[in-house]
Amino acid sequence: MKLTKGLTALLIIGSLTTAVATTTRVFAADSSSSSTSSTNVQTTALSKSYIVYGAGASNHTEIANVLGATNDYTALTTTGTDASYIGLSGVADSTMISSVSLTPATTGAGTLVNIKDYDGQNNITTVTSQQYAMAATMAGVNDIIINVTSDKSVTGEAALAGVYKALAADGISLNEENTQAANSVLSATSDAIADNSDDKSYPGKLTSAVTDTSADLAEKKQAGTTITLNIIGNTLNTNLEKQGIADQTSDTAKTAIVNSLKLVVNAPISDSKSFVENAQNLADKLKNSTGDLMAKAKDFANSADAKQATNWFVEHVVNPVKIWIQSIFSKN
């Protein structure tokens, strides 16, 4: 029995060592960038890192610690007025609770999202990391790592307002029609994910299928095809079948997603060739994505951010497992 426990511990330590080695690799970002296109798809790199606190958030110090933000991050706050970024008005400041940090990702990384636990608990109750990444990409965001947390239990939709506000502060102005369409897709996928809450792989597979569908439809549109609801539905079903979740997704959920994708098709972003490439790349990453953490240290463009991400991994993953292993041997 002792031998079995010892082998188990060694295997775990070996796996963690490999993971830490992997997460400490940092690649330099491409310093070249082009101007923002007429469809407002992000083509310029984020110039620096930001942390955006929700006006209703209480403990900024702890939130910054959870999000891995340092004094080098530019701090902003989302108020009720900023809810206009996600198509809402008349919102009280106190309801803007979720907070985000944005850091430049390596060229080609796409949009990667981590939801961070606050005080040991995931307070983002509805939106998944995969949904955030999907919606942000459909809004025109690219090559950015987004960390999300909240010091109170919230659904999580307002976090995207912080993302869009930070990009605007950095001089990257996204098209409002794009962001509204992206927000609609995020909402439309929530019921399907809730219906399949017992399947941890479902959010990644669903968002992969939906993101792939948006790319397929954009390609068809750019080739001159008139995109009808029937075409959207057939394309979505094909991609759901590719992911093996067509039968898991209700007709009601499919209808909601089709209607939201119609907004994406009508938005300027579907005229962008770079969006097609970005969406296809993200869909490939989403299909195998599970859990709350999409980005690793290797995805960060800045070495300081990568180090911070590695430290978080060691503190929240490696050290707890080490303590567990030590507890096994202490019982013998």
Report the range of poorest mean pLDDT among 100-109, 158-167, 314-323.
314-323
60/171 same-domain check: yes
277/175 same-domain check: yes
Phi, psi dihedral angles at 98 (to 5 degrees): -65, 145
19/157 same-domain check: no
For residue 168, the tally of other CB atoms under 10 A from its CB is 14
In this structure, which amino acid lies at residue 151?
Answer: D
Looking at the domain assignment, is residue 81 inside a domain? Answer: yes
pLDDT reported for residue 332? 53
Looking at the domain assignment, is residue 31 inside a domain? Answer: no
The pTM assigned to this predicted structure is 0.81
Which pLDDT band holds residue 257 (cuts at 50, 70, 90)?
very high
Looking at the domain assignment, is residue 243 inside a domain? Answer: yes
Distance separating alpha carbons of residues 73 and 213, to the nearest angstrom: 35
56/171 same-domain check: yes
Average pLDDT over residues 275-282: 97
119/181 same-domain check: yes
98/150 same-domain check: yes
Distance separating alpha carbons of residues 116 and 184, to the nearest angstrom: 24
Q: What angle do CA 255, 261, 262 make, to 5 degrees?
A: 90
Alpha carbon distance, N-terminus to C-terminus of the chain: 10
Average pLDDT over residues 74-79: 98
Structure tokens at 94: 């106190």
Distance separating alpha carbons of residues 103 and 273, to the nearest angstrom: 24
Looking at the domain assignment, is residue 184 inside a domain? Answer: yes
**Residue span of the structural domain in which 61 resides:** 50-299
223 pLDDT higher than 50:
yes
Looking at the domain assignment, is residue 195 inside a domain? Answer: yes
Q: Bridge-partner residues for 103, per DSSP?
A: 145
Give how many domains the chain has, as a whole number: 2
Which pLDDT band holds residue 20 (cuts at 50, 70, 90)?
very low
Share of residues in the chain with pLDDT > 90 (%)? 72
pLDDT reported for residue 318? 47
By DSSP bridging, strand 144-149 and strand 99-104 are antiparallel
222 pLDDT higher than 80:
yes
201 pLDDT higher than 60:
yes
